[in-house]
Amino acid sequence: MIPRDPWARVPEDERVRLVVVVGCSRAKRDRPADAGELYTGSFHKLCMETARSLRPDRLFVLSARYGLVGPGHPMRPYDTRIGDPDQVKPARLVRQAKMMGCWQSDLTIVLAGREYVELARKVWPDAVAPLEGARGIAAMRRILAEIRDRK
């Protein structure tokens, strides 16, 4: 008999409880850097600060070109946006999440705009997106501050 809970056979100390995904930004350094330092946009930095305050088991930047990359992953600057022909494909995101052992997390939070939330939900359909429905950047900044202040 196959257990209903896909985590039923995963040892408790190996479970991925919290995954946080932050969207990338158009603003980048002009030289290679780790993903956690490559993106220079103020909104991205605020999302990363908030993500780190949540103390996730896994933290990823959702790169429009390369998919899920950890903050320590070395990258070169690029110019790809969601919707561009060379945008990362959902199937690649699913493969990446499976390879990293986090595609069945207990909770996934996406701190990003609508297009990135839609893309992340190809991997994690039940992902929580606290910025979803926020009207404008000021509202998003307020939500991010509330999340950080709760910790």
Looking up tokens 């990003």 gives 112
Between 103 and 30, residue with greater pLDDT: 30
9: in domain: no
CATH number of the domain that 135 lies in? 3.40.50
Residue-averaged pLDDT of the chain: 90
pLDDT of res. 104: 85
Structure tokens at 31: 């030289």
**Arithmetic mean of pLDDT, 47-59:** 97
Which band of pLDDT confidence, cut at 50, 70 and 90, is reported for residue 70?
A: very high
For residue 28, the tally of other CB atoms under 10 A from its CB is 19
pLDDT of res. 11: 56
pLDDT of res. 151: 60
**Arithmetic mean of pLDDT, 5-23:** 72
108: in domain: yes
Which band of pLDDT confidence, cut at 50, 70 and 90, is reported for residue 8?
A: very low
pLDDT digits (tens, 9 = 90+) for 26-37: 999 999 999 999
28: in domain: yes
pLDDT of res. 1: 44
Nearest to 70 by CA among 79, 82, 55, 60: 60
Domain tally, the chain = 1
67: in domain: yes
With the C-alpha atoms ordered 87, 50, 26, 114, is the resulting torsion angle positive or negative? Answer: positive
70: in domain: yes
Q: Answer yes or no: is pLDDT of 5 > 50.
A: no
Domain boundaries, position 106: 16-150
40: in domain: yes
142: in domain: yes
CA distance 93 to 96: 5
3-state secondary structure the chain: CCCCCCCCCCCHHHCCCEEEEEECCCCECCCCEEHHHHECCHHHHHHHHHHHHCCCCEEEEEECCCEEECCCCEECCCCCCCCCCCCCCHHHHHHHHHHCCCCCCCEEEEECCHHHHHHHCCCCCCCECCCCCCCCHHHHHHHHHHHHHHC
2: in domain: no
Q: Percent of the chain scored above 70 by pLDDT? A: 90
**Arithmetic mean of pLDDT, 123-145:** 96
